[in-house]
Amino acid sequence: MANERILVGTGNLVNFRLGTVDTLRRVSDTLRFPDGFLFGASISAHQTEGGNTNTDWWWWEHIAGTPCREPSGDACDFYHRYREDIAMLSGFGLNCFRFGIEWARIEPAEGEFSRAQLAHYRQMLDACHEHGVAPILTFHHFTVPRWLHEQGGIAADGFPALFERYCARAAEALGDRIGYACTLNEPQGLGSSGWLLGINPPGHTDDRDGAQRVVDNLLEAHRLGAAAIRSRSGAPTGVTLALPDLQYEDGAKPGTSSLELESQINDWFFQLARQDDFVGVQTYTRFRYGPEGSRSPGSDWSDTTRELVETDQTTQMGYEYYPQALGGAIRRAHRSCPGVPILVTESGIATGNDEKRIHYIDTAMREVLACMAEGIDVRSYVYWSLLDNFEWALGYAPTFGLVAVDRETFARHPRPSAWWLGQVSKSGFTSPLAGEVGPRSGPGGDAGGWGRPAI
Ligand code: BGC
pLDDT tens-digit series, residues 75-92: 999 999 999 999 999 999
**Where does the pLDDT of residue 9 fall: very low under 50, low under 70, confident under 90, or very high at 90 and above?**
very low
Contact 44 CB / ligand 1 (< 6 Å) = yes
Contact 186 CB / ligand 1 (< 6 Å) = yes
Contact 242 CB / ligand 1 (< 6 Å) = yes
Query: Ligand 1, closest atom to CA 317?
Result: 12
Chain CA centroid to CA 255, Å: 26
pTM: 0.90
**Residue 179 pLDDT more than 60?**
yes
Distances (CA, A) of 345 to 21, 242, 282, 319, 440: 22, 10, 6, 20, 30
**Residue 405 pLDDT more than 60?**
yes
Contact 262 CB / ligand 1 (< 6 Å) = no
* Rounded distance from Cα 19 to ligand 1 centre (Å): 32
Q: Which residue has the higher pLDDT, 430 or 200?
A: 200
Query: Ligand 1, closest atom to CA 384?
Result: 4
Mean pLDDT of 204-217: 98
Q: Which residue has the higher pLDDT, 303 or 34?
A: 34
Mean pLDDT of 49-60: 98
Closest by Cα among 69, 12, 53, 129 to 390: 69
Q: Which residues touch 377 (CB under 8 Å, ≥6 apart)? A: 18, 339, 340, 341, 342
Count CB atoms within 10 A of the CB of residue 212: 13
**Residue 27 pLDDT more than 70?**
no
The preferred substitution site among 44, 98, 183, 392 for testing ligand 1, maximizing ligand atoms within 8 Å of CB, is 392
Question: What pLDDT was estimated at residue 398?
Answer: 93
Residue-wise pLDDT tens digits, 440-455: 333 222 334 444 444 3
Identify each DSSP E strand in 291-377 by its residue range: 293-294, 342-347
**Mean pLDDT of all residues in the chain?**
88
**Where does the pLDDT of residue 69 fall: very low under 50, low under 70, confident under 90, or very high at 90 and above?**
confident
Question: What pLDDT was estimated at residue 71?
Answer: 94
DSSP code of 453?
A: P
**Where does the pLDDT of residue 305 fall: very low under 50, low under 70, confident under 90, or very high at 90 and above?**
low
Q: Rg of the Cα trace of the chain?
A: 21
**Residue 321 pLDDT more than 80?**
yes
DSSP code of 327?
A: H
- Percent of residues, the chain, with pLDDT higher than 70: 86
**Backbone phi, then psi, for 271, in 5-degree steps?**
-60, -45
Q: Going by CA atoms, what residue is nearest to atom 9 of ligand 1?
A: 44
Question: What pLDDT was estimated at residue 291?
Answer: 95
**Residue 14 pLDDT more than 90?**
no
**Where does the pLDDT of residue 15 fall: very low under 50, low under 70, confident under 90, or very high at 90 and above?**
very low
Contact 346 CB / ligand 1 (< 6 Å) = yes
Closest by Cα among 252, 263, 244, 396 to 317: 396
Question: What pLDDT was estimated at residue 304?
Answer: 63
Q: In what order do the strands lie in the sheet with 286-290?
A: 245-248, 286-290, 293-294
The preferred substitution site among 76, 347, 384 for testing ligand 1, maximizing ligand atoms within 8 Å of CB, is 384
